[in-house]
Amino acid sequence: MFEEVKSAIDQENYDEAKDILTQLLAQGKNDLWIRYYQTLILEKQGNLTESEASYRQIVKDSIYPDAQLLKLIRDGIERIVTINREKQQIQQQIQLKKLQEFQNIENSEDLAVLVLKPVNLEQKKVLAPKFAQVMNLDNYTATLQIPTRSLRLYKTGNFGTLNYYQTELSQAEIPCFCQRIKNINQMTVYQVEYIISDDGEVNILCKNDQEKEIIITFQWTEINHKIHALIPIFEETLHIDAKGKPQKKKSTLDYSKFYDLHLVSQNLILRFSDQFYKFDRAAPFHDRGLEISKQGKTVQEKWEYLTNFLNEKIPDKPLWSDFTLFAEGAIQFPEMLKQITPHINLFRREETLWDETFQLYSGLIFFLINPS
């Protein structure tokens, strides 16, 4: 009856072939041959991944190998491998053509970053195979790359190439975006000295990169994002190793606290810092304002009061506080980070790129609303 099964498959009468196989299975016929023909049907119907796995499993289950059966299975696996190779070559040719087209877009040679947005665990399972196909990865590696907790800097390179990947990933419903470093560097960032008044409209005294004082006026409702972050301050310390020998080691001495407000309407980031905010100079706001100088004895207490005040004034706008998670990945791209102007002037005994990483993080979030 296996000849009848083969004949039905050759004539593409797959339902008839399945019926015969069901009868053979009920009669207790050779299970491996039945499984082979079931797998052959899968292959003929285009289920290549499933059929290849099934072919390989039959070989593993063949305790007493049938030479004829093994040859047919190897032929099947070879057919599938050849088809997949041809498909991959065609796909690569299509991708190469598209990639070349993206190299002709405006600013295609500019340095840029490709960033993945976080998804939940269920989405990750669905998106991983799609991500693997676009980026030519295996499923396991693709699964590791898709973030679930914070933005992830995935690639750096020229804008044309990364814009191509962004387009392909977006079409596969994988949330991501691409941004040029030039845009990050062209942003205006002012260091906040202190809040002058908060009576109807907000007036804040700031300094620009040239240390010039500037007063910025706005409404709290104009703020688009709030960014809260801890930036480490490193110091080289001396330690004694297991053999009793002195050894120099970079350690985290402290953290500087930063709080950015994004004012997209003015293309501006207002940067608060516990290192630079003039707590002692901030005057009371008439009879109801922010008199920080009397709110606690330590800078930490005053900083906590200030950030609570800002959160209360802007309760309905997103607060981004996952900088450390983002930075742990982004810090692995030092050559790109060296091209960023950080707008942070912390005194450091040890050089680091964490300042540039924070500017990148804050800037990327800024452009989530204003993607130009």
pLDDT at 274: 94
Q: For residues 51 and 33, is the Cβ–Cβ distance under 8 A?
A: no
* Tokens 């083969």 -> residue: 6
Three-state SS for 35?
Answer: helix
- The Cα-based distances of 210 to 174, 190, 337 in angstroms read 41, 10, 22
Say whether pLDDT at 291 is over 70. Answer: no
The average pLDDT across 281-310 equals 73
Three-state SS for 179?
Answer: strand
* Tokens 């207002």 -> residue: 270
Q: Which of 124, 112, 51 is nearest to 336 (CA)?
A: 112
Say whether pLDDT at 372 is over 80. Answer: no
Please provide the distance, in angstroms rounded to a whole number, between the alpha carbons at the two ends of the chain. 68
Q: Which of 313, 320, 360, 364 is nearest to 197 (CA)?
A: 313
The average pLDDT across 173-183 equals 96
Cα 299 from Cα 290, distance rounded (Å)? 15
Kind and range of the H or E run holding 162: helix 159-171
Which one is predicted more confidently, 226 or 236?
A: 226
Say whether pLDDT at 9 is over 60. Answer: yes
- The Cα-based distances of 219 to 176, 179, 265, 326 in angstroms read 31, 28, 11, 30
Taken as a whole, the chain contains a residue count of 372
Say whether pLDDT at 29 is over 80. Answer: no
Say whether pLDDT at 237 is over 50. Answer: yes
Q: Which of 318, 335, 329, 317 is nearest to 361 (CA)?
A: 329
Three-state SS for 268?
Answer: strand
- The Cα-based distances of 149 to 43, 120, 330, 370 in angstroms read 39, 8, 15, 23
Global confidence as pTM: 0.76
Strand ranges in 127-219 using DSSP code E only, listed in sequence order? 152-158, 176-180, 188-199, 201-207, 213-218
Query: How does residue 287 score in pLDDT terms, banded at 50, 70 and 90?
Result: very low
Q: Which of 211, 309, 216, 205 is nearest to 263 (CA)?
A: 216
